[in-house]
Structure 1
Amino acid sequence: MATPNSTSQASSPLRIRDSFLRKYVPPTSPVAQGRGLVVIAGGLESFPSLWVQLRELRRLGSTLPVEVWYCSAISPLTTRMRELLARIPNVQVFDAAAIRKTFPAVLTTTRDLHTFALLNTKFHEVLVVTPFLTPLACPETLFETEGFRTSGAVFWRGARKWNKNHLIWRTLDLAPRDGVDTLAAPALIDRLRHWKALYFCKHLCDHSRELEKVIPAQAQLLNLAWYSTDSPFHEIDTNPPRGTEGESSDEKTSFPWNDLSSRPWLLDESSSRAALTNGATCLQHLLELAAAWKPMLYDPVASISEEDAQLAQLLIGQSVYKLAGTGASVHRLVLLEEHATQTNYAGVVGWHVLNGKLHLGWANGHTRQLAKDKAHPGHWISVERGSASMIRLMPSHPSDDLLTKQLTLRPHYRLSRGDDTPLPLSLSSDGSIGPGSSPRFRGWTITEGQLAFLGERGLTALLRPEGSVFVDSCTPPWQLERHDTRRRYLVHGLQRTCTNVIEFLFSRQLNAPRTTQFFGSVYWKHGWLPSSNALGNTFIIICVRHPLDWMLACYEYFVREHGKDTTICSQFSPTWTFEEFLRRPHYFWPSPAERWNVMNQHWLNRVHETGSGTIVRAEMLQSLALQSKTFHNLLSDYDPFMEVEVDKLLVANRMTNNCSSSSAPMDSHKYWERRYLEQYTPKMLQNVKEILDERLMQQLGYTWKDLEQVHKPN
């Protein structure tokens, strides 16, 4: 792992654009002919939208050939899906994972697949879209627009653009430009005229690991690549509004689609969207898909008995169920009328009752049969073996949610029976049993206030809470007790953002466990966090400070501790003035403001990705009253069930680097009276403001409006 003073992370990306431009050689005999539509698809979630898109395209009279691209390593299309697509005229399906054997490329995200398809399609002129755009008219006319005939590339802008102060411009050695899109919007491309830009897209994808801290995985690369290679393109000022259901109102766009990416079509779609343009015909396409995809669930049952009808009526809409399947993942399930279901995942798409058994139909065409569990009323257990043997339906009640939350916030337990050696158990929030646990159990759920463990053949143990443990009525009884009730935590933030105060609170006063297993011996709380998968359930505390206040505090600390603190950036000189500090290199970044942008955005992304963490503003720790409120909110996020007297945990003085209290009091006046502004001239403020990401500042609770102050003259 690189040390804080290493520059290896910064130097590699800076050469990416230059290395491509030096080595690029145009394809000698590219294969490209005709016009066509390329749809970037894959996976169950997008398939109903893909079906509606293609069926409506043909109903409108479009004869444009279509290529559907997916990657079986990312989001596969099942055999049944491919068979259904084969029914639509002039549609071909391609698996990028198979073609990659002859065309090596990185394929880890949908963006990689987007670029791969554009390089490997057979079309000369191609319109590339996502499955979530429902056509309103034939798209053939788009190929005849003046913008496309002139430049050979047309991009419809999305709702988000690269900030002019974003690190991407320095990374690729480009002058900042307004309007370069960060979202995957539709594009119209003449491939023979733009091989260079397309291959630069692939070059960026191949270097995605080096660029992951600069270019988010979901960001668009097309118009950024065109700009980087000086390739001509035409941009449309508006596109179908994202997150809305309606066509574009700007006639200049000439883009005849409804953008439903925020609410894709579903197999059990209600009639509420029939009022959309072409909505009624789209619902007909969905009914057609349902009938073709799930014949077992929609063909009428000729000899249904009165008992089956009564049982079906009892099941409809009366309970929320928890369904555990292969891998012991637990999902919510509601059985509705007309054989429909409502789930929090796209697996089960239909049901019916026959001969006293509940039949469930999966989207991939598989079916399961469940029978009543006589030993446990209200429970259903699979009558089949193999992959279906773990499927169960269990009633869920509102009180179960609180108990589930308590168990997953404190996930480490020991399970014993009689005098047996306790077995470690880790209860995951998705209903699975964590790694390293007993192989005897495959999953867990809460039902009617009791903890149910699921094994290979169904219900293995049903335990009720008694005080701090869970027990059952067997002889000898099973008993579950908490082994480690505290969540692990991590504190991250730039220097001088009160990370030591929060570290002192958790490590010294609460004695909470800190996550360290993935850091080795070079952990730096002011540096990068690992991936969200590695972090798992770790509670991440991000300390932030107003950038203007932070830069001055950082400068003063560097001057004072230079030669003592080895983590101070190697470029720094104590002879620098504050103005020089603001414009000189800072660790891996061209300036301190760039570091404030990148690191705080990186930490904020990790909090959002894991869904486990919070932001602490250093300014809210400067007085005991504010500190009390901040600590209360922080500990409520960390563990809502923790019983602690917050007022006994307050810190009146500053903390040293080894997280011990010093004799110096908190300097609240410096921030609240904006004294740090006295060190900034108007020119310095303007220079810094051009670099700082105002959107990020607003996300962290900072603005420029409250900084009015009389400054020293230049």
Structure 2
Amino acid sequence: MIAAGGDTLLPCLWVLLHRLRATGCSLPVEVWHLGEDEMPGDIRKLLSEKFPFTTLIDAFAVREKHPVKILKGWELKVFAMLHCSFKEVLLLDADNVPMVDPTSVFQNPAYLDRGALFWPDQNRHARGRNAWRAFGIPPEDDWEVESGQVLVNKGRHWRALNLAMHLNEHSDYYYRLFYGDKESFYFAWKLLNEPFAMAPHPMQRLQQWTMIQFHPTTGELLFQHRHGAKWRISHNPRIHSFNAEEECLTHLSELRQLWPTGVERLHRRQHDGEKKILRQFEEGKHCTLKSKNGGCHFLSFRQDGEVDDPSGTFRWWHPHGSRLVLQTHDHAFWEFACIDDAQGDWQGVTQGEFHGSLLSERSDGDDQIHRAVSKDALYALSISGISKRANALSTTVTLQSTGLVADPSGNQTGDWGVQAGNLHLRIRGTRCLLKANGSDFVGECTITTRRSVKLASAKFIEDGLGPKQANNTDLPALTSGREVSNQLTKA
């Protein structure tokens, strides 16, 4: 039995039904929802055709025969368990993903002995909570219940399930004593002194967004409950070590194709900040990310949530409220908040290497420059016009795709970046601002001496001869950025 419907849970339901059948599970399924708004006609038709083993039930219609005071999302779970057609019910949250066929849990010895099987949450019950006093029962050091999955034999626990329904339909009072439907199971069973089994394996987490539960008999991974990262139509955060993640994303891709009206509907009801981000970072969007250590990353955002990053640092992106989140290959998260809508600049807000970094939009000219110089090629840089007595200066450098500048020996001598159609080059104390001139770049170089700041003309030409031949040019060659800085300082 699954309680699902509405914008948030329909994509989750689609994935769950696919994964149930992928495990080989052949049990019948009932999906309960709250009215037609939660289950529009087009998705109802699609679900019925795609998953013929599934029955869709409107809880509001059942409520006409079995009135309850309050019936919302959490309350629906117990209401549906009580009134579904099954005598033995395995409740699954829609954002749960089974990894093996859950049918065998019905044969678990502890469940057969007691008629109810719960799975542990991450915390034990606190002794000082108000619920103990309100219910008049002594505190217990039991695990709290994690209700992403609950197994109950209604024939043996009809009274306890009805008491749990009472606690939920009066949630305006009882939810002040405990947290939602999950603890209504525990306290209903405790108040009536009815037996239940608790799965013996502790719950574990994946990146604080997913709870994983284990088979009570075999100990193998059974459920992955994405409570903190529910499936979206698109742009889903990736969770490290999440099993069958690519298969789940494939199911969502199928849903986008089969349910276009629903995709539009879900997008319309998205958080305003998320819609703004999705509009801004459309297909082909290019950005430059500058970290606090001076490094640059040149990113292209794809509509499927992937990031093209030549440096190999970032792999995915997704909106989270009004923030833009980038994920690295090792599943680290970096969040950015928009600080300038007009310029499209985003300030990093995540602690770590990119704290305080700036993500800025790249123009077409920026992208053209980036494509021209980001292939770890060698370039000859000549600087002239420093003073009447100074000779022309030149050096051979490599622009690395990571945004760093290296000398022919591979030693870091500075960094480079692209913004507003200009190539910014920094080698030690020398800063150059260059514009594209065909395949070359020309512009000005700012030199800070002991006495003043001087401007010189700079020319930046791709050197296809390699470092050894480049050093044999007519211009006096310099082997490092430090020598450039020393000569410029003397000038």
User: When the two structures are superposed, what TM-score results if normalisation uses the length of structure 1?
Assistant: 0.37
1:224–1:237 distance in 2 versus 1, CA, 3 Å: farther
Aligned counterparts of 1:258 and 1:276: Cα–Cα separation in 2: 8
Which one is further off, 329-338 or 234-243?
329-338
Letter in 2 for 1:101: E
Selected match of 2:41 from 62, 79, 92: 79
Contact 1:246-1:259 within 8 A present in 2 as well: yes
Aligned counterparts of 1:44 and 1:249: Cα–Cα separation in 2: 29
Contact 2:116-2:153 within 8 A present in 1 as well: yes
Contact 1:66-1:92 within 8 A present in 2 as well: yes
Contact 1:267-1:286 within 8 A present in 2 as well: yes
Matches within 5 A, 1:220-231: 220-231=183-194
Aligned counterparts of 1:200 and 1:224: Cα–Cα separation in 2: 9
Query: Could you say which residue in structure 1 is the equivalent of 2:7?
Result: 44
Matches within 5 A, 1:5-20: none
Selected match of 2:341 from 396, 400, 404: 396
Aligned with 2:30: secondary structure? strand
Query: Could you say which residue in structure 1 is the equivalent of 2:248?
Result: 282
Task: Report the alpha carbon displacement of residue 150 of structure 1 after superposing the two structures with TM.
Answer: 0.6
Structure 2 residues without counterparts, runs of 5 or longer: 284-301, 306-317, 323-339, 348-491
Give % identity.
Answer: 24
Aligned with 2:204: secondary structure? coil
Letter in 1 for 2:107: E
Aligned counterparts of 1:325 and 1:121: Cα–Cα separation in 2: 30
Task: Report the alpha carbon displacement of residue 278 of structure 1 after superposing the two structures with TM.
Answer: 2.1
Indicate whether 1:265 and 2:224 are aligned: no
Contact 2:119-2:147 within 8 A present in 1 as well: no
The structure in which a higher percent of residues are strand is 2
Query: Could you say which residue in structure 2 is the equivalent of 1:233?
Result: 196
Aligned with 2:233: secondary structure? coil
1:133–1:240 distance in 2 versus 1, CA, 3 Å: farther
Matches within 5 A, 1:344-493: 396-397=341-342
Letter in 2 for 1:135: P
Matches within 5 A, 1:178-197: 178-181=141-144, 183-197=146-160
Letter in 1 for 2:115: G
Task: Report the alpha carbon displacement of residue 126 of structure 1 after superposing the two structures with TM.
Answer: 0.9
Aligned with 2:257: secondary structure? helix
Aligned with 2:19: secondary structure? helix
Aligned counterparts of 1:288 and 1:234: Cα–Cα separation in 2: 39
Selected match of 1:93 from 56, 77, 81: 56
Query: Could you say which residue in structure 2 is the equivalent of 1:623?
Result: none
Aligned counterparts of 1:251 and 1:287: Cα–Cα separation in 2: 33
Query: Could you say which residue in structure 2 is the equivalent of 1:175?
Result: 138
Per-residue CA deviations over 1:270-314 (Å, capped at 9, x if unaligned) read 69569632223222211111110128999xxxxxxxxxxxxxxxx
1:328–1:127 distance in 2 versus 1, CA, 3 Å: closer
1:240–1:79 distance in 2 versus 1, CA, 3 Å: farther
Aligned counterparts of 2:225 and 2:215: Cα–Cα separation in 1: 14
Indicate whether 1:55 and 2:18 are aligned: yes
Contact 1:154-1:187 within 8 A present in 2 as well: yes
Q: Which has the larger radius of gyration?
A: 2
Letter in 2 for 1:277: N
Contact 2:117-2:198 within 8 A present in 1 as well: yes
Matches within 5 A, 1:659-670: none
Matches within 5 A, 1:280-359: 280-294=246-260, 332-335=276-279, 336-337=282-283
Letter in 2 for 1:276: F
Letter in 2 for 1:258: Q
Aligned counterparts of 1:164 and 1:296: Cα–Cα separation in 2: 47
Selected match of 1:138 from 86, 101, 125: 101
Letter in 2 for 1:84: L
Aligned counterparts of 1:83 and 1:345: Cα–Cα separation in 2: 31
Aligned with 1:46: secondary structure? helix
1:232–1:327 distance in 2 versus 1, CA, 3 Å: closer
Aligned counterparts of 2:344 and 2:203: Cα–Cα separation in 1: 43
Matches within 5 A, 1:565-580: none
Aligned counterparts of 2:40 and 2:258: Cα–Cα separation in 1: 14
Task: Report the alpha carbon displacement of residue 261 of structure 1 after superposing the two structures with TM.
Answer: 1.5
Aligned counterparts of 2:15 and 2:159: Cα–Cα separation in 1: 34
Letter in 2 for 1:260: R
1:117–1:271 distance in 2 versus 1, CA, 3 Å: closer
1:164–1:85 distance in 2 versus 1, CA, 3 Å: same
Task: Report the alpha carbon displacement of residue 79 of structure 1 after superposing the two structures with TM.
Answer: 2.3
Aligned with 1:214: secondary structure? coil
Aligned counterparts of 2:57 and 2:69: Cα–Cα separation in 1: 17
Contact 1:147-1:234 within 8 A present in 2 as well: yes
Aligned counterparts of 2:262 and 2:8: Cα–Cα separation in 1: 21
Per-residue CA deviations over 1:39-90 (Å, capped at 9, x if unaligned) read 12122112222111111111222111111112239x8222232222212130
Query: Could you say which residue in structure 1 is the equivalent of 2:364?
Result: none
Task: Report the alpha carbon displacement of residue 328 of structure 1 after superposing the two structures with TM.
Answer: 10
Aligned with 1:159: secondary structure? strand
Contact 1:201-1:221 within 8 A present in 2 as well: yes
Contact 2:117-2:150 within 8 A present in 1 as well: yes
The structure in which a higher percent of residues are helix is 1
Matches within 5 A, 1:87-126: 87-126=50-89
1:228–1:255 distance in 2 versus 1, CA, 3 Å: farther
Query: Could you say which residue in structure 2 is the equivalent of 1:706?
Result: none
Letter in 2 for 1:141: S
Structure 1 residues without counterparts, runs of 5 or longer: 1-37, 299-322, 347-394, 403-714
Aligned counterparts of 2:129 and 2:190: Cα–Cα separation in 1: 15
1:144–1:47 distance in 2 versus 1, CA, 3 Å: same
Task: Report the alpha carbon displacement of residue 131 of structure 1 after superposing the two structures with TM.
Answer: 1.1
Selected match of 2:114 from 139, 151, 154: 151
Aligned counterparts of 2:145 and 2:186: Cα–Cα separation in 1: 9
Paired residues in the alignment total 292
Aligned counterparts of 1:136 and 1:230: Cα–Cα separation in 2: 33
Aligned counterparts of 1:284 and 1:44: Cα–Cα separation in 2: 19
Selected match of 2:168 from 202, 205, 209: 205
Aligned counterparts of 1:328 and 1:214: Cα–Cα separation in 2: 34
1:174–1:255 distance in 2 versus 1, CA, 3 Å: farther
